[in-house]
């Protein structure tokens, strides 16, 4: 008879390619639908958020390709695809984590498979969105005029509680595929899939600091995300009206871009839901997180 007690895993934060505990020393328990505690996680503080933003800022120049020897768009696509491969290897673990808190309306949906496929989809966008969003501009005179998209900078991703893995990937992938770096606040009700995703990032050739994942409460961190001057944009979904208001008001601090999406909860399989490719796999999910640069160049004699 095996009477040993299993060791529940304690998930940590993911900052700058490492897995530190919260500087506050706090943790929080995650329970399944029966109320049984299945894991403990670090509860991120304001200081952890600052560390994550600094890591994201430090990784930006190389990930965007602006620094010498930085990542090309094609290299970004290869790395995103590699993370998808790592997720495929963790598919059973991810499925267990996503279904642990699922209700009757969501059980049986292939959230993990769609999340992996969505990451592959955005891997394909890495070297193509420029042609879709950029343009050659007709001008009168001996000039050649064109507009190209460039990454905005450090983007905070505030994940929904419904579909914690698919929602996170859907918000994060268009941000990093275009050369931005990210600070992710995982789903509050079920953050474990985000923690497993962090492990896939760590083994998937992603440079340190490109993606930083925090677990904690929105009540504590959303206000700091909104007012942090080192965050250039916010991508959030299905947050409370109060948190949406706080995020939008915070834009006045540094004119950050704030996109708060409201997708149907529940199965998410209908039009406009998380499983809808036409809704979530568009270049227009990339567009809010790039800046347009217009260049004039003399042409002709």
Q: What is the pLDDT of residues 231-262, one digit of tens each?
A: 999 999 999 999 999 999 998 888 999 999 99
- Decide: residue 29, CB within 10 A, 0-12 exposed, 13-18 middle, 19+ buried: exposed
Q: What is the DSSP letter of 278?
A: H
Rg (C-alpha) for the chain, rounded Å, is 20
Q: pTM for this structure?
A: 0.93
Nearest to residue 275, comparing CAs of 111, 125, 44, 31? 111
pLDDT tens by residue, 152-178 = 999 999 999 989 999 999 999 999 999
Residues 175, 155: Cα–Cα separation, whole Å: 7
pLDDT band at 5 (very low <50, low <70, confident <90, very high): confident
CATH of the structural domain 10-298, one choice from 3.30.300.180, 1.25.40.10, 3.40.605.10, 3.40.630.10: 3.40.605.10
The DSSP bridge partners found for residue 158 are 185, 236
Mean pLDDT of 181-196: 95
Residue 62: Cβ within 10 Å count: 18
C-alpha dihedral over 66, 70, 73, 74, to 10 degrees? 160
């Amino acid at each position: 008879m095996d009477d040993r007690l299993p060791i529940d895993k304690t998930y940590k934060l993911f900052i700058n390619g490492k897995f530190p505990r919260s500087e506050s020393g706090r943790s929080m328990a995650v329970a399944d639908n029966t109320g049984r505690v299945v894991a403990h996680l670090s509860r991120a503080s304001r200081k952890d958020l600052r560390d994550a933003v600094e890591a994201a800022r430090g990784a930006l120049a190389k990930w965007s390709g602006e620094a010498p020897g930085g990542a090309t768009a094609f290299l970004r696509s290869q790395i995103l695809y590699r993370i998808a491969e790592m997720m495929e290897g963790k598919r059973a673990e991810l499925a267990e984590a996503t279904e642990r808190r699922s209700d009757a309306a969501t059980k049986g949906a292939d959230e993990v498979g769609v999340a992996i496929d969505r990451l592959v989809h955005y891997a394909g966008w890495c070297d193509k969105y420029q042609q879709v969003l950029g343009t050659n501009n007709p001008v009168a005179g001996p000039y050649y005029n064109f507009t190209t998209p460039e990454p905005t900078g450090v983007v905070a991703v505030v994940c929904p509680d419904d579909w914690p893995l698919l929602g996170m990937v859907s918000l994060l992938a268009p941000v990093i595929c275009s050369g931005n770096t990210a600070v992710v606040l995982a789903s509050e009700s079920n953050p474990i899939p985000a923690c497993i995703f962090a492990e896939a990032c760590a083994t998937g050739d992603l440079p340190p600091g490109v993606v930083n994942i925090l677990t904690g409460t929105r009540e504590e961190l959303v206000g700091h995300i909104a007012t942090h001057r080192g965050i250039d944009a916010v991508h959030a979904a299905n947050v409370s009206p109060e948190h949406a208001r706080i995020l939008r008001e915070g834009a006045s601090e540094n004119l950050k871009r704030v996109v708060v999406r409201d997708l149907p909860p529940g199965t998410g399989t209908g039009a406009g839901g998380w499983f809808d490719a036409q809704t979530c796999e568009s270049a227009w999910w990339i567009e809010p997180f790039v800046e347009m640069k217009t260049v004039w160049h003399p042409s002709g004699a």
